[in-house]
Amino acid sequence: MTEDPLEKYELEQFIKKGLRQLSIPLSRDQVHQCMTYLHEVEQGNKRMNLVKATGLILVVKHLFDSLAGISFFLQAQRRKRIYDIGSGAGFPGIPLAIALPDSEFILAERVGKKAGFLQNAVLYTGLTNIEIFGHNFREINKKVDIITFRAFSAIGKVIDDLLALLHPGGTIIAYKGQKAKIDEEIGEIEKRKGNTSLDIEVQKVVVPFLESERHMVIIKRHM
């Protein structure tokens, strides 16, 4: 891999190759939305260090990683309204919004300059299914069907806050890394909540061209 800027054609072909490995059939317009978004992240990196990656590394570690968990969103009982908390540069919310145009996304980012970046990224990609919430994620006054996040927090630390925002039957879908660390987080949840109201599942995911260990934690709240 290289972190040098990519030519447009090379970037498009690389994205399509990764999408084939993920079995995600995005249209040409959706692929171009991904490319526009990645360009905005590259530009934003120059001003505010949004993520520590550029070029192909950015595509793999952030775009492909965000999309690698899409099957769990498709399998959710309800997914009309999806809440991406601590969205930062917009991962996973913006890639998911591109791939799931029939769902509504709320991206919570309380840091003003990052929330401003997200507003611009949504504008330039032409996405109409995203709302930016520039406050602490706990302050939203809407119930949601799915809550998701990457690199945000240990789940046990925020589980009560997350459950308060979910519709009955809703789902938490968290992007995580090593299984050993996940087991510690789940152990903390089970100590506090027991097994009476939640179903917790951990699934390994394979991200194209990425060797790092990646998992999805799926927590379903009972009706």
Instruction: Tell me the sheet residues that pair with 146.
Output: 82, 171
CB neighbour class for 24 (10 Å; exposed up to 12, middle 13-18, buried from 19)? middle
Quick check: 2 pLDDT over 90?
no
| H-only helix segments in the chain | 8-22, 28-48, 55-58, 65-67, 70-75, 93-99, 112-125, 155-165, 179-193
Quick check: 6 pLDDT over 90?
no
pLDDT confidence of 4, banded at 50, 70, 90?
A: very low
Lowest-confidence range among 46-55, 103-112, 176-185, 194-203? 194-203
Give the predicted TM-score (pTM) of the model. 0.93
Q: What is the pLDDT of residue 39?
A: 95
Quick check: 196 pLDDT over 60?
no
Quick check: 188 pLDDT over 90?
no
Q: What is the pLDDT of residue 150?
A: 94
The predicted-structure confidence for 123-161, as pLDDT tens digits, reads as follows 999 999 999 999 999 999 999 999 999 988 889 889 999
Indicate the average pLDDT of the chain. Answer: 92
Instruction: Report the run of H or E that residue 166 belongs to, with start and end.
Output: strand 166-176
Quote the CA–CA distance of 24 and 153 in Å, as a whole number.
Answer: 28
Q: What percent of the chain has pLDDT over 70?
A: 95
Q: Which residue has the tokens 């917790």?
A: 200
The predicted-structure confidence for 29-70, as pLDDT tens digits, reads as follows 999 999 999 999 999 999 998 998 989 999 999 999 999 999
Question: How many helices (H) and strands (E) in the chain?
Answer: 9, 7
